[in-house]
Each structure stands twice: as structure tokens, then as C-alpha cells.
Structure 1
Amino acid sequence: MQQATDEPSFIRQHWLMFSLMVLAVVTFLIGRYSNIDMLNAFKGQKRTWDEVNQQLTAENEQQKKTISLLETEVKIKNQAIAELQKSLDSLTQEKSTLKADLVFYENLLSHKDTINKLRVFDIEIEEQGELVFIKMVLAQKLQKADLTEGTLVMKLTGITEQTGTVIDLVEQYKLDNDYAFKYFEIKKYTISLPKGFNPTTLLVELHGKNKRQKVVSEQFQWSELLSRSQTDLVDEPSANAN
């Protein structure tokens, strides 16, 4: 009986194992709840990030719309400015044209007493690059005049590589050379001279439809016409006054 009393109890023999088991269970429970808390914290943080991301996305879209509206507004303003500038340029050009018209008609009327027969009243040329613009005013008696009709001939004399050359402008460039007017008519032509050709004189002939009518022949120095046009270029209206 003394031997049974001296033997250690079952719990005393296995207390370490029980302690470890209890510690493991406690550790498991603590870890589990800690993981749950951490998971909940992550979920809460994710919701916060999602909300912030949605807010930033919404703000970004709103900013894009605002930028688009501002860009559209700038385009509209630029177009409006361009249209206004275009209108201003048009008005300026119209004013210049009206002023030129006034000068032309005043000049024409100031010669009404000296214009008593068919003639080349005025001729101007303008060179722009390879193009040459010719403007010719034909006139006759400005008081109680009858309709005059006919065709004109234009021949340009010049030098090409030290050789004299004559170009029939009407034939070369298929120009409209008919005229029919009562008081005056403005003829306008655009041509391009051959390379290396240096013009010197322009001959204009007016052949009346009535064969009994005398041919009007006038010759102009090209350099003088060009010089006069460069210093006093006037753009008269392209119209007939019948």
C-alpha cells in the first residue's frame, strides 16, 4: 500500500504534455481570431481603397470633361477670331476695291473730252512669280456713242538668248480677244512667259467688225508698264459698260 501512495499521479506525470496542448489550443485560438481581425482590417482597407479609387476615377472623368469643354471653347473662340479677321480683311479689300473703282471712273470721266475715238485708254501689267496679269481698258467716245465691236491683237516682242522673238499672246494662250461696248470695256488676262524670254514692247491692235473701220494700233514699252504698275497698281472692276 505504501508503494501505491509513492507512485506519482497520472496528471503529475503528464502535466507538461497537458500544458503544451493547452498552450497550442490557446495559441491556435489567438492566431485564428488575430487572422480574422487582420482579414477584417484588410477588407476594410480594401473597401477604403475602392472608395478612394472610385472617387479619383470620378474626379478624373470630370476633369476630362472639363478639359474637353475648355478645348472646345478655345476652338470656338479661335474660329470666331478667324472669321472676324476674315470679315475684316474682306471689308478692307472691299474698301480698297471701291476706292480703286472711284479713282478709275474719275480718271475715265476726266478724259471724256479727249476720248473721241476708239483707243486703248489704259493698260497695266503685274508680275507675280511666273504669272503675268494684264489689264487693258478700251474706250471710245463717251457721249452719244454707238456700239463698237471687233477683235484685238496682242503681240509681245522680246529677246530670247540674244535673239528677237515675237509672241502672239491671243494665239499662244487662247485669249478671248472679242470686244463689244458702247463706252468702255475692261479686259483682263493671265499668262506665263516662256523661260528666258525678256519682253520689251507690247503691240495692241483693235480690228473693228466693220471692215471699213480703221485699225487702231498702239505700242507700249513693257518696262514702263511694269514700272507704273508697281508704283500705282489699281484694281478696277472686271465688267463691261454697255
Structure 2
Amino acid sequence: MSESRKPAEEYVVIRHRPGYRLRRTLILLVFSVVAAVGGYAAGLAQGGFRFSSVEDSRDRLEQEAEALQDKYRGASQQLVNLERGRTIDQQALNQARKIIVDLETQIASLKADLTFYQNIMAPSETSKGLQVDRLSLQQGRQQGEYNFKLVLTQVGNNKSYISGVVAVNVIGMRDDEKEVIALRDLSDDIDDLGVEFRFRYFQDVEGLLKLPSDFEPMEVQVVAQSEGKKSAQAERTFDWVELTEN
């Protein structure tokens, strides 16, 4: 009588891919962050400039900031785990570090927007009324070209509209002499020396400016003048180097 044969043992070969599960988790995290920021941007595009929803925008920003903070803490912990692990490949580690940087940038942007809304709705006693809030410059496609964005705000009293004009001048040197050039002479998007404005909460003035090749800019001077019984003036000077180094 022959002995019963035992079934042959089977082995399954599985390819080892270091960091695969972690990379997949991080990719999902990136998609969720992008979706959150995309939703916020879409909200602004569809209704963010309808000034009746400023308080709603502020509350939504607070929720977005809290959500990103939670994602940031989770990504930070994963980064710590990666740095401690010896078997995780360098690619996964670099990807985690990049995600941390992206999250920090998005959180900073959301916090800046949140502060902007909070300052409009609950300002300090010394910052009420018409304000030159900020000016930003971004390098254009050609040398000497810059996309500009000027933001004017009415802080505190938002029950009525405020109107007036704002003048922008670029101050610099040409042929060893100081020269002041109006924004109208640098941008095809601006027709008048004083740009008219009318708003309750805030208004943007945007366009493209091009500097003369032999002109060296130093400062940008912004003067906003409101009209009416309670007319007011707001003035602010921006350093050109600080505007363009970011």
C-alpha cells in the first residue's frame, strides 16, 4: 500500500516596491488639498466678489484653514516617520517633503485671505475708512513687464458705497535724474491719470505695465481720494525691490 502524497507547497512571488503605499497615500492627500483649494477658488470666481457674502467667505476660509492644518499635521507626521525609517526609498521621502512645502504655502495663502476679511469686518480703531490695502507685482513674459494688482478697501463702515479716484506713480531714476511716471503712461489698461473706484468692501485694480528700458524703478506711490461729505485720502508708498523679490 502506497503512502498518501502531501500536496505540494505553493509559493507566491510578490514584487517589493519600497514606499509604494506611502506614495499612494501622499498622492491622495495632494488631490484632496487641491480639491479643497480649487473649491475655494471656484467659490471666489462665482460669488467671492459679490460683497453681500463677505461674512460667509470669512467663515468658509476659517473652515478651509482648519482642514488644511489637519492635513498638514498628518503630512508632517508621515514625514517624521519617513525620516526615521531606513527602508523607505529616497523618492518617497522627497515627495513627502514637497507636499509639506505645498501645504505650508497654501495655509499661508488662506491665512492671508482670512486676515483680509477679518480686518474689513472687525478693524482696529486706527485703521477704519478708506485704505490702500496692498499692491503686488509679478514678472511678465517679457523683460520689464509686470502684472500688477492694487487692492483698495473700506474698513469698518461698509453700509454705504465709497467712491473716488486713485493715482499710481512709479518713482525711479533715468539718466541719473529722478523721474516720476504715472501708471497711465506705463499701462495700456489704464486710460486716466486717476482711476475711478466705487465699492462697499474692496476693489481690485489690475493690469499689465511695461517699464522703459533705461528707467530704474525705486518706489510705487499710491494715493486714493474719496469723494462726498466725508471725503478722505489714503496714501501708501511701496518699495520696488520688496514688491518684486517675492
- TM-score normalised to structure 1 length: 0.50
In proportion to residue count, which structure has more helix?
A: 1
> Which has more radius of gyration?
1
